[in-house]
Amino acid sequence: MKSLRVGVLGVQGAVSEHVEVVNDTLKIMGINGVCETVKNLNQLKEVDALIIPGGESTTIGRVAKERGLMDEIVRKAKDGTPIFGTCAGLILLAKEVYDLKVGVVRQPLLGLMDIKVVRNAFGRQRESFEVDLNIPVLGEKPFPAVFIRAPVIEKVWGKTKVLAEFEGKIVAAQEENLLVAAFHPELTEDRRLHQYFLKMAL
């Protein structure tokens, strides 16, 4: 079998953490593959699966657009390439995004997924926290979810399925080849969400 190439969009944010976790998870799963940072169009064209990491969605979107990466990500997504957006990556994948302070945002978005997202939804009192999250598709054991200035999904429609909720807010979802989490799965030891994503690419 051809080796699986997984890319992590390397513009800004938690890039190296995902690369390390994916390489570790590929090994655990016995998959012949490699994960690398994707910084330009040629590298992006080569990957079979892509992670858009957490960071600052405005910066990631703006720089990715300047480098001509946004259109290619949209093209790949429509071709069925699995894409996993965490935190800022979730924001970028959404069709609708707004900020509690400024209303509808004007930042560049991929606009691929049928979700409506609120940026920085937990407010200043809870900029960062960890909770045990119930994610039924990963089994019974709760998942340690680290939230950092996290968004939430206010609503989903179309083919999008809710995968996890916290305090009544949607924090993980999937629409066919698109997977999103409002938290940072690359910052804890639990590899089940990365495993779930890699299975989508097999």
- 112: CB partners within 8 A, 6+ apart: 74, 77, 78, 83, 93, 95, 178
Kindly state whether residue 33 participates in binding ligand GLN, applying the rule CB under 6 A: no
Q: Pick the piece of the chain touching ligand GLN (CB under 6 A) from 19-27, 30-38, 83-91, 129-137.
A: 83-91
Kindly state whether residue 152 participates in binding ligand GLN, applying the rule CB under 6 A: no
Contact 100, 120 (CB under 8 A): yes
Beta bridge partners of 85: 52, 180
Concerning whether 35 is annotated as a catalytic residue, the answer is: no
**Which of 18, 35, 87, 175 is labelled catalytic?**
87
What are the backbone angles phi and psi of residue 172, rounded to the nearest 5°? -155, 145
- Residues touching ligand GLN, count (CB under 6 A): 11
**Which of 18, 35, 184, 194 is labelled catalytic?**
184
Contact 52, 60 (CB under 8 A): yes
Taking the complex as a whole, the smallest distance from the CB of residue 7 to ligand GLN amounts, in Å, to 18
Binding site for ligand GLN (CB under 6 A): 54-57, 87-88, 91, 119-120, 148-149
What amino acid positions are annotated as catalytic residues? Answer: 87, 184, 186
